[in-house]
Structure 1
Amino acid sequence: MADLLPGYNVVTKLGDGARSAVYEVIHVATGKLYTLKRVTREANEDDRFLQQAINEFNVSQRLNHPTLRRSIELFKTRRLFKLVQVRVLMEFVDGLSLDRRRPDRLDELLTLFIQIAEGLGAMHQAGFLHTDIKPTNVIVAADGAIKIIDFGQSCPIGHRKPRIQGTPDYIAPEQVERRSLSQQTDVFNLGATLYWALTGQTYPTLITRHGRTRGTVASSAKPPPAPLDLDPTLPPALSRLVMACCAYDREVRPRDMAEVRGRLSALLPVAQRLADQASRQKSEPAAVPDVSTPTTALPPTSDDSLDYSAISEIINPHHSPERRSGPETPS
């Protein structure tokens, strides 16, 4: 694999996606590590995957924020005047995706989402939306710093896409209904991601990860459970914020990432007290049960964790689940 890109050697393969593979590579001359995404064209309908890789590079070139992954260089390969391969050399991110490194402490989790909101706010200031925020597109370093990745579905603010794009369980209503997209679209995606991070369950979006339409939230007789309904220990104000972010009506959602960041920051002192209290309770010795009193064993709980990397674009019925062999996977 030394010739995957001249001057670079492959350290390891990080993952596979739709017509793509992601590698950790080292620059031979300097010893510096990078990430290389390689997208290949195998059929006529694969052109969109190549264009997404090109779009990721072009959008990244317009961004400058420590929470947003940088793209370094774009390489195109043509045969008989047809584009057959795209390689994007990117900043190497040493960490694990949020679905694999979710903080246990509430204050640390909110700090992480404040960083996400800051990064998305920087994108919006540059005139772009991410439109695919989800746990697998947020890389968390060991020190808690985050990096937002994968700008393949990014678009200008106000854009209306010709087809449905997004990830089930995180996709906003206007993405499903192919309306114009706004900053509140990213607010919804972030809110759905925070809903999962707080509850371990996914928000009932209009399309599930199985491609099944659930109907509009507005027409649902029973509203979705709020985070507070699923975990009574959460601050009510945090639960209200999440549900506002996930509102079907964009006018109900926070107007921008600055508002999201401000409301999350205001909750940090409460979150820290709750996290400290939970930590003290865990450190206290458990009460010794009275052996003379029969106890009833609780049934084991099932593992409700799900692999959200299995679907990166709902209009691609041939998409296969990505293999997670490293800190990140392509989408």
Structure 2
Amino acid sequence: MNRHTKHLYVFGPFRFDPEERLLMRDGNPVSLGPKVLETLLLLVENAGHLVDKDELMKRVWPDAFVEEGNLNKNIFVLRKTLGQWDGSLEYIETVPKRGYRFVAPVNHVSEMEARTQSQPEPLLGAYLIGKKVSHYRVLELLGGGGMGLVYKAEDLKLGRRVALKFLPEDLASDPLALERFEREARAASALNHPNICTIYAIEEHDKQPFIAMELLEGETLRELVSSASSRASRDPTNLLQLDKLLDVAIQVTEGLEAAHRKGIIHRDIKPANIFVTTHGQIKILDFGLAKLQESEISVERIATEHKPNRESELHLTRTGATIGTAGYMSPEQVRGEMLDTRTDLFNFGLVLYEMVAGQRAFTGGTAPLVREAILKHTPASPRELNTEIPAGLDAIINKALEKDRALRYQPAAEMRAHLEKLRPAVRGKIGVGRSVLASVVAFLVIGAALWFTRSHRSTEGRAPGEAASTHCEFKRERRDWRRNFARWQVAGLRRSAGNPCSVD
């Protein structure tokens, strides 16, 4: 059984998460576009070694023929962002007529090690705090990543709190990317559904576009997973029962169903884009923004003065289609094919797989290895990893993860209907209901607590050296607590609800 331990690249004051494509400086997000981050990843993965410019272009734009100027622009943005450190040492060295080399020392460390080493400094992007942007007053920086920085703000016209998301500078200055962003953000703003984060307006500040959207309070599934090991709960009754897991899954499929009816595909469903509010409501994040990542500049680059027409709309849709987060991509995303609604269902199937099996369906040391696994490997059935998973849920996940799109659920409504069929067997048999957020938190933290209890008992009466050894063993085991706890919580369900239900 594979164990998944996240590792980060650390260089100077920066930390780079290769899975989430997130660059941090002293614990704070740095706003860069997805292709700039992909360029950085390839250089950092090969730190100290020459990376040929042709290989860089092939890897960063695998499905579009681009000019060398596109790569040069990415390198310029990276150098501007990284700057210099230790007085004079540069990060990226140019090897004339050949390529580039990342020359700064790079450490490949676990996420836990990186956290203990980080020293927070003043927030990047804090210069907007307290200022008026259009008719919004910026209150605080909430975070950000590859698709921009997000601020909490007050709408001075309507007297409500909103979130403002600014596009990265390198994307905002590209006419084609900006055109696509505005077109798709307008489409996403037409979505009005309780399980989709609402977009209020598309505006501009100092020639940099931003989106005003619904302000949410709570945490993403990704944040809950990341913070689980630091939480403490010793109450074994606070388990996430299947009815609560189904609440999360059904709400997500309802949101996807509403978007798909409008002809909008998310293309980047993952734990970081699924938000659990403090009231237990699920919100899907970044509709339209995820689609922006598909737009790249091909050899038929449209000039700045280009006027939209039917042909250009087709170009904007087809050019450069490798998008998504490596561990949550569909086979058609990896191949750079045209995407449809079934891609979202595959992505969500991967999220469900991770929740019930305790590990990702496809893993690898690098993004290319993960993509290769998605294309060539068949993941173990969730029930093979956890024999207590109900057969019905196992069947739903396996169907969602079919590599052939024709064999998957076709509309999201079909997947939702099958999830609904699992409810009668457990409704009313699992105890007093709790909010979805509380249940998800319990699901994520109880495994760590039980491992801690076992470790603590096992060290009683031991010599100091033996106790220290056991503690180290516990730290290693704790990293894999999700898989173990998934087994425990579903076992509890089986005892409460009887035989697992099946899906017709």
> What is the TM-score of this pair, normalised by structure 1?
0.73
Q: Does 1:303 align with 2:458?
A: no
| Counterparts of 2:180 and 2:240, CA distance in 1 | 34
Task: Name which of 121, 126, 148 aligns with 2:257.
Answer: 121
Does the 8 Å CA contact 2:164/2:211 hold for their aligned counterparts?
Answer: yes
Alignment of 1:35-184 (within 5 A): 35-42=163-170, 50=178, 53-55=181-183, 57-77=185-205, 84-101=207-224, 104-151=240-287, 152-154=289-291, 160-184=318-342
Q: Paired residue for 1:231? A: 386
User: Which secondary structure state, in structure 1, belongs to the residue aligned with residue 372 of structure 2?
Assistant: coil
Aligned amino acid, residue 258 of structure 1: A
Alignment of 1:212-223 (within 5 A): 212-215=369-372, 219-220=376-377, 223=378
| Counterparts of 2:481 and 2:186, CA distance in 1 | 34
Aligned amino acid, residue 332 of structure 2: E
Select between 235-244 and 55-64 the one with higher mean Cα deviation: 55-64
Q: Does 1:265 align with 2:428?
A: no
Alignment RMSD: 3.5
| Cα shift readout 1:201-225 (whole Å, capped 9, x = no counterpart) | 11217x87634255366744xx311
Q: Paired residue for 2:103? A: none
User: Which secondary structure state, in structure 2, belongs to the residue aligned with residue 270 of structure 1?
Assistant: coil
Deviation at 1:244, TM superposition (A): 1.0
Q: Percent identity?
A: 30
Deviation at 1:45, TM superposition (A): 8.0
Does the 8 Å CA contact 2:330/2:374 hold for their aligned counterparts?
Answer: no
Q: Does 1:247 align with 2:370?
A: no
Aligned amino acid, residue 421 of structure 2: A
| Counterparts of 1:228 and 1:19, CA distance in 2 | 36
Unaligned 5+ segments in structure 2 are 1-128, 226-238, 293-312, 433-438, 440-445, 447-452, 458-469, 483-504
Task: Name which of 176, 192, 195 aligns with 2:350.
Answer: 192
Taking a change above 3 Å as real, the CA distance of residues 55 and 271 of structure 1, as seen in their structure-2 partners, is farther
Q: Paired residue for 1:3? A: 131
Q: Paired residue for 2:124? A: none
Taking a change above 3 Å as real, the CA distance of residues 65 and 209 of structure 1, as seen in their structure-2 partners, is farther
| Counterparts of 2:244 and 2:376, CA distance in 1 | 36
User: Which secondary structure state, in structure 2, belongs to the residue aligned with residue 203 of structure 1?
Assistant: coil
Taking a change above 3 Å as real, the CA distance of residues 44 and 36 of structure 1, as seen in their structure-2 partners, is closer
Deviation at 1:51, TM superposition (A): 5.6
Taking a change above 3 Å as real, the CA distance of residues 38 and 24 of structure 1, as seen in their structure-2 partners, is same
Deviation at 1:170, TM superposition (A): 0.9
Select between 39-48 and 143-152 the one with higher mean Cα deviation: 39-48
Which one has the largest radius of gyration? 2
Deviation at 1:122, TM superposition (A): 0.7
Aligned amino acid, residue 215 of structure 1: E
Taking a change above 3 Å as real, the CA distance of residues 60 and 261 of structure 1, as seen in their structure-2 partners, is same
Does the 8 Å CA contact 1:56/1:153 hold for their aligned counterparts?
Answer: no
Taking a change above 3 Å as real, the CA distance of residues 213 and 7 of structure 1, as seen in their structure-2 partners, is closer
Aligned amino acid, residue 90 of structure 1: M
Select between 63-72 and 207-216 the one with higher mean Cα deviation: 207-216
Q: Paired residue for 1:210? A: 367
| Larger relative helix fraction | 2
Length, aligned pairs only: 283
**Which structure carries more relative contact order (alpha carbon 8 Å, separation 6+)?**
1
Deviation at 1:110, TM superposition (A): 1.0
Taking a change above 3 Å as real, the CA distance of residues 87 and 129 of structure 1, as seen in their structure-2 partners, is same
